[in-house]
């Protein structure tokens, strides 16, 4: 008997993305926004390490998938690089990429690991970004064509698809807060990008449901917005924060419509996106089958201390200030609060307000710097990561016990990988990766999760 037993057929695994693992200099591939940005501003990447130098999954996938099997994975979420499959984003399909992704999918299945495949993880082909990226509705057409190619090529073996990973992040990073290319600060354009992304999502959900068998969903980083207090001003701040950063994607994906109070707020401030008449029906009729939930930290907010600068750009932050709760537990390496109960609160919200949609934790993890400090007898003793996972799993277990439709847990990530501007500053994996040699070494957490998967649970 185990203290925390999970539902039958629970998905144990991890998640990764193409750009962060394959290496953009490996094989035949087009350029993405990351290749462009690194060539223009390598100083913005930790230690000057760009997307050409990743953990080399492209050449070592068989070794990595064997290691996944060895530690009890029954599922793995990967992504396809649009720029690799169709260099330039439109036109001829790349046979080298077809061969690679076929080999990866076949190897996963041979090891009894179900592939969950995501179509877009921050990696716009640069040619399409030069046309405006998600600001341009022509890119929606190109994305739908790309999705059809992927479904036709791999859909005979892949039964779980995801349109986007964390679609709010390119909006925040690329069009609001200057931490992703194209480094624009313009809320009107940001909102258009967010809206067009969801139209692209709905187009592909419609395409999939009409022509293929399986489940299709989206992966959202849901960050609960907790008010400082129950004062009405703090409650309103948290509500608006939730509208911008969670419900702007969650509601159209799961309920098929945008929250009315979000629409009213954007209209009041002249920030509504351009739409087409048919969009509303498209969203309403093409909701997802499954939801991936990425959860790392809570968002704590309070009412504004001061009125926004009327001469500054419009921002979501006009309506709230961030709040640092006294006594909060921190991951000091990322500057993120650790609040395990957040994952339970998300699941209860999905149960009560989103039709208890089938969902799973598609990312959760703890990035730590200089993990070589914790090597003992050749192994990184990452007890802090084990504790982090265990405490989140306890709340996931409680949610499942209370009827939440939670079906799995995937760690970010299987092995240490390149992490956008942070490169290899913080390590997340079950397996350590030597940057120079590429050698993989299991951490203590790898043996722990193997036992958890085998027992479908764990003891206190």
Closest CA to 284 of 249, 248, 257, 311: 257
Cβ–Cβ < 8 Å for 405, 254: no
**Which of 363, 372, 439, 460 is the catalytic position?**
363
Dihedral of CA 257/253/146/45: which sign? Answer: positive
To the query of whether residue 274 is one of the catalytic residues in this protein, the response is no
Q: What is the C-alpha to C-alpha distance for residues 339 and 358, in angstroms, rounded to an integer?
A: 23
Q: What is the C-alpha to C-alpha distance for residues 165 and 162, in angstroms, rounded to an integer?
A: 7
> For the packed helices 95-110 and 137-154, what is the interaxial angle rounded to 10 degrees?
50
Closest CA to 405 of 365, 352, 341, 459: 352
Count other Cβ atoms within 10 Å, centred on residue 427.
26
CA distances from 59 to 73, 254, 413 (A): 20, 37, 18
Three-state secondary structure call for residue 247: helix
For the CA atoms of the chain, what is the radius of gyration?
A: 21
Q: Which residues contact 73 (CB under 8 A, 6 or more apart)?
A: 12, 13, 14, 113, 414, 453
Q: What is the C-alpha to C-alpha distance for residues 365 and 429, in angstroms, rounded to an integer?
A: 8
Closest CA to 377 of 319, 311, 444, 439: 444
Cβ–Cβ < 8 Å for 23, 56: yes
Q: What is the C-alpha to C-alpha distance for residues 40 and 48, in angstroms, rounded to an integer?
A: 12
Q: What is the C-alpha to C-alpha distance for residues 236 and 228, in angstroms, rounded to an integer?
A: 11
Closest CA to 370 of 356, 361, 382, 360: 382
Q: Which residues contact 267 (CB under 8 A, 6 or more apart)?
A: none
Closest CA to 331 of 269, 382, 292, 381: 382
For 333-364, give the DSSP string: TTTEE--THHHHHHHHHHHHHSTT--EEEEE-
Per DSSP bridges, beta strands 290-294 and 215-221 are parallel
Catalytic residues: 363
């Amino acid at each position: 008997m185990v203290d925390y037993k999970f539902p039958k057929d629970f998905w144990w695994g991890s998640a990764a993305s193409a750009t962060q693992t394959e290496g953009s200099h490996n094989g035949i591939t087009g350029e993405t926004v990351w290749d462009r940005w690194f060539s223009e501003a390598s100083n913005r990447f930790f230690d000057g390490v760009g997307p050409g130098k990743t953990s080399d999954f492209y050449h070592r996938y068989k070794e990595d998938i064997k290691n996944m099997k060895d530690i009890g994975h029954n599922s793995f979420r990967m992504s396809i690089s649009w720029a690799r499959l169709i260099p330039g984003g439109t036109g001829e399909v790349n046979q080298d990429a077809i061969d690679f992704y076929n080999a990866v999918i076949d190897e996963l299945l041979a090891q009894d690991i179900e592939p969950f495949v995501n179509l877009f993880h921050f990696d716009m082909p640069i040619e399409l970004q030069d046309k405006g990226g998600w600001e341009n509705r022509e890119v929606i057409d190109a994305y739908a064509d790309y999705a059809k190619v992927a479904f036709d090529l791999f859909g005979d073996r892949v039964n779980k698809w995801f349109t986007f990973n964390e679609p709010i992040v390119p909006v925040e990073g690329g069009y609001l807060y200057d931490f992703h290319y194209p480094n624009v600060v313009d809320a009107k354009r940001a909102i258009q990008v967010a809206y067009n992304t969801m139209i692209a999502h709905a187009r592909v959900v419609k395409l999939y449901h009409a022509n293929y068998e399986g489940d299709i969903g989206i992966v959202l980083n849901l960050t609960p917005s907790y008010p400082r207090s129950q004062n009405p001003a703090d409650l309103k701040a948290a509500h608006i924060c939730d509208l911008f950063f969670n419900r702007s994607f969650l509601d159209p994906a799961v309920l098929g419509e945008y929250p009315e109070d979000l629409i009213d707020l954007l209209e009041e401030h002249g920030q509504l996106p351009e739409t087409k008449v048919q969009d509303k029906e498209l969203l309403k009729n093409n909701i997802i089958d499954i939801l991936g939930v990425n959860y790392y930290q809570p968002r704590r907010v309070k009412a504004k201390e001061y009125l926004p600068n009327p001469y500054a750009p419009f921002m979501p932050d006009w309506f709230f200030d961030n709040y640092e709760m006294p006594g909060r537990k921190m991951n000091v390496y990322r500057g993120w609060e650790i609040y395990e109960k957040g994952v339970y609160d998300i699941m209860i919200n999905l149960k009560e307000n989103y039709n208890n949609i089938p969902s799973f934790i598609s990312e959760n993890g703890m990035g730590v710097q200089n993990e070589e400090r914790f090597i003992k007898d050749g192994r990184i003793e990452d007890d802090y990561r084990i504790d982090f996972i265990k405490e989140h799993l306890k709340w996931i277990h409680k949610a499942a016990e209370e009827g939440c439709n939670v079906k799995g847990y995937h760690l970010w990530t299987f092995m240490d990988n390149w992490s956008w501007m942070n490169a290899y500053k913080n390590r997340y994996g079950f397996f350590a990766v030597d940057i120079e040699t590429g050698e993989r070494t299991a951490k203590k957490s790898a043996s722990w999760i193997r036992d958890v998967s085998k027992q479908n649970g764990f003891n206190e």
